[in-house]
Structure 1
Amino acid sequence: MEAVIVKNKQQLEDAYFVREEVFIKEQNVSPEEEMDHFDQDSSHLVIYDGTEPIGAGRLRIVDGFGKLERICVLKSHRSIGVGNLIIQALEKEAAKQGSAQFMLNAQTQAVPFYEKHGYKVVSEEFLDANIPHVKMVKKQPFQV
């Protein structure tokens, strides 16, 4: 598996493909909510298994934090470390962009996964796209 920071149109389409499969088709998020205005100003990541896109995520710098967003893995490739690769690659990219602290809005069912990566819940539960979420942060220094 390979983590690639999107640099061309095909890679971006591959990242969008994974997001569409997971969020729009599987979780019934509306396309308008999933593909938002932040996409144009974000760094995008796609995970490939050979030439097949299997995971994706995006990154924005918000108030000094690297904000990890739209983290998703195709159902067929879950529980084999793809999510770990996404987190590591997005944190590394955020560090390259000058951020040593990270945040994300996690679906509540995914909180234990993010806690394993050092994230802590810092909010009450809220709905995003009709799915329960919490805000999580990770503030320890990160080495590039």
Structure 2
Amino acid sequence: MNVVEVKGTELEDAFQIRREVFVEEQGVPLQDEFDGYDESGAAARHILVYYEDQPAATGRLRWLGDTAKLERICVRAAMRKFGLGSVVVKSLEKIAQEEGFCKAKIHAQTQAQNFYERLGYRQTSEEFMEDGISHIVMERTI
């Protein structure tokens, strides 16, 4: 397993995973999945996890005041049994810590609440809809 931060044209592998998971599997409109934070030079950091030399999982990190916001965390369907989601979250948290952040948050799909709770996150909002999918805000100290 290898975790790398990606930029520019290297982002296409990460974007392909997001298309597979969010757009094709979950029905998120393509125009909603990709935004200005995905453009080269944008104020976001993107990582890609390789499993057996294949792009397998991805995530994005942005800064909101004193909080690191973990976003677009997803794992290819065939790779979900290898714990790569945890690798993505922990890798993004490590980058945030290296940048001096002590707090992280995520807009978590409610179906993934238990996953994030196991990683130390706690629910801090009521349920809300985002792209037709139920979400909650979850936060933790990192």
- The answer for the alignment partner of 1:81 in structure 2 is 83
Q: 2:123 aligns with which of 121, 124, 130?
A: 121
Instruction: State the secondary structure of the residue aligned to 1:79.
Output: helix
- Mapping 1:19-98, distance limit 5 Å: 19-39=18-38, 40-98=42-100
TM-score, length-scaled by structure 1: 0.92
- Mapping 1:99-138, distance limit 5 Å: 99-138=101-140
Q: What amino acid is the match of 2:6?
A: V
The Cα RMSD (Å) is 1.1
Which deviates the most, 18-27 or 32-41? Answer: 32-41
Distance in 2 (CA, whole Å) between partners of 1:76 and 1:134 is: 26
Superposition misfits of 4+ residues, deviation over 3 angstroms: none
Instruction: State the secondary structure of the residue aligned to 2:120.
Output: coil
- The answer for the alignment partner of 1:6 in structure 2 is 6
Q: CA deviation at 1:8?
A: 4.5
Q: What amino acid is the match of 2:90?
A: Q
Distance in 2 (CA, whole Å) between partners of 1:8 and 1:130 is: 30
| Structure 2, gaps ≥5 residues long | none
Q: Any idea what the Cα deviations from partners look like across 1:9-64, whole Å, max 9, x if unmatched?
A: 22x11110110110011101011110012223210011111331110000001121
Taking every aligned residue pair, what percent have the same amino acid on both sides?
41
